[in-house]
Structure 1
């Protein structure tokens, strides 16, 4: 967090005033843009994300009769997104007031905890969805066992436990500080614990982002290779393959747009604080980091797109029910019907939806 001062000195220093004292704080950046960008972007994410995720939860709970593995993962993803977006009004108020936190220290910890919990819950549930679909396309026989809904429920519990345990140190590190009658809700830690916080963040970066991202890329490359292989079949199968490729692109775009820039700029932001760099370079890194923070939150708005692309019936229930349509439409386009003909856990939401 940087002080909202309209001065840029040309002397070297660290980026965060919580790490240094006033008498050695030499690089001071203009962050007026943050007090417009963050309230507006978080406000948009709150309105759009809350509406889309509440609608998704309604469809999952009241309109889908029988769940499959992908439905289970998507439902948990919607819960994670909803829990996060309901905390955004506090951040909207906080940044609109110029980094002045009027609430308790405990609420500051919870808001930061929800951000990182949602971030890594989203990544891990997207990983689960990707592996599930990878098995359905490339190893359809194995997916009969490992793709069953009872395993998906167990995996979902494991994802929540792992994420909450891994992010629980955030509740310890995050704190507030008072400077010039302004209370700052830091998203890092106090200056005494900052070195430990960087180590902790680096471990989380590898375990909860780099490794899942690598696995997803490998899975989707193998899936795309399988889907793009020339096969004999009806035109409907060709359409399902195109839809599957679109789903692959959507998931990868969520990672590339939302998660990758944030983790890259945050790593640079933490690493370069102690380096002997010019103030212009440090200012550019600080600016990039502040710009990518809202991007990391937009996954709460993009995730519902996956649900609506999951099946024509799911999307149709957002409007009016179209009568006279057959009930065997493929719901999860990422898994063509030809790969699931032998599956007892066929991913077809259309026949699982209540009439």
Structure 2
């Protein structure tokens, strides 16, 4: 059973120790001054479900995410065609996903060991940092893709000087720089500690710094999620209005670009609705309940369970982002089928000279 202590607001101001204890089976384990437990109420509930649920969920994400993102990066690296702006954004998205997926074995092992963290303080900080790097890097890169598509649909001619590969690389560079600057404080907040003789890795931070962590988390949610979401919402609203216009718009954008824009809207909105929105709602609710030190045990339990259920589900984006590559990139599905077909056909029979296709001979001569 887990014991959760609810000290009064006044006692928290007098002592930083009486915050919230999520017991031995929780990432948010906090130090507890046992003397205060006689004066405060305790909420007790079990979190044994995490050991099975999180281990299985992270294992599935790792098994699917590693080959999917690895395949996308391999296809992008092997292609001879110059990357388009969309491909540049999507490849950077795959890099962020792959870096995070490679940290999942540490979490799987830790939950298998009943929340014991055997990997040291440095890897604790790195795993937490890469989780949020993937999360907010993905959101900002999807924002870049949405703005790029918006300019192509609503301002196709005026935006030509800005929809270039150079600006795409500048956008991805600015995205990585902004994400790293936003997340540097997580390297200070996240660290290891010993609880009952067992090393754990804080998901949030130690109780002495929780007030500062709460303020930082709210600011990060606003800058890393709310503001980019508003930008995407405005872009897609204007795109929908433009795409629903009659034949004038169809002649200006073309049927192919129109279909690709509709796919972009549906896929990105679906990704936000499934992964990012529920996670930020449940996480913000959970942190607010902890900060306000609610005496309602059922409310705290509901907030804790909701947050811990949606926390791994936000990582499902690492498996869904490769779908964006195949559906939004330039002829990526055709290239993949061609590569698979070449591998299936294999070598030509010995002694028989392969004839170059007519179109290929013409292309070589024109080159």
The structural deviation recorded for 1:272 is: 0.5
| Pairwise CA distance, 1:7 | 7.2
User: Unpaired runs of 5+ in structure 2?
Assistant: 9-18, 23-28, 342-367
Is 1:229 aligned to residue 236 of structure 2? no
CA distance in 2 between counterparts of 1:68 and 1:313 reads 11
> How far is the alpha carbon of 1:60 from its aligned partner?
1.3
Q: How does 1:130-149 map to 2 (within 5 A)?
A: 130-149=146-165
Check 1:172–1:62 CA distance in 2 against 1; reply closer, same or farther (3 A cut).
same
Q: Is 1:160–2:172 an aligned residue pair?
A: no
Matched, 1:302 2:314: no
- 2: CA distance, partners of 1:128 / 1:311: 14
Map 1:237-316 onto structure 2 (within 5 A): 237-238=254-255, 241-273=258-290, 274-311=292-329, 313-316=331-334
Residues 87-236 of structure 1 aligned to structure 2 (within 5 Å) = 87-231=103-247
Unaligned runs of 5+ in 1: 324-355
Structure 2 distance, partners of 1:221, 1:276, is: 39
Describe the shift of the 1:37–1:229 C-alpha distance in structure 2 as closer, same or farther (beyond 3 A). same
Could you tell me how far apart the structure 2 residues matched to 1:238 and 1:166 are?
A: 40
Q: 1:322 to 1:82 in 2, by over 3 A?
A: closer
Query: Which one has the largest radius of gyration?
Result: 2
Partner Cα separation in structure 2 for residue 64 and residue 41 of structure 1: 37
- Structure 2 distance, partners of 1:104, 1:9, is 28
Q: Is the 8 A contact 2:146 2:264 kept in 1?
A: no
Q: Secondary structure at the match of 1:147?
A: coil
What is the TM-score with the length of structure 2 in the denominator?
Answer: 0.81
Conserved 8 A contact 2:72-2:322 = yes
The equivalent of 2:336 in structure 1 is: 318
Q: Aligned to 2:42, what secondary structure does the other structure show?
A: coil
Which string of whole-angstrom CA distances, capped at 9 and with x for unpartnered residues, describes residues 211-234 of structure 1?
000110110111122112221669
Distance in 1 (CA, whole Å) between partners of 2:202 and 2:209 is 12
Q: For the residues of structure 2 that align with 1:122 and 1:9, how far apart are their CA atoms?
A: 36
- 2 CA distance for matches of 1:318 and 1:19? 53
SS in 1 for 2:208: coil
SS at match of 2:43: coil
RMSD: 2.5
Q: Give me the whole-angstrom Cα distance separating, in 2, the residues matched to 1:200 and 1:311.
A: 36
Residue-pair matches, total: 318
Measured against aligned partners, the alpha-carbon deviations of 1:157-178 in whole angstroms (never above 9, x if no partner) come to 1111111111111111101221
Higher RCO structure (Cα 8 Å, ≥6 apart): 1
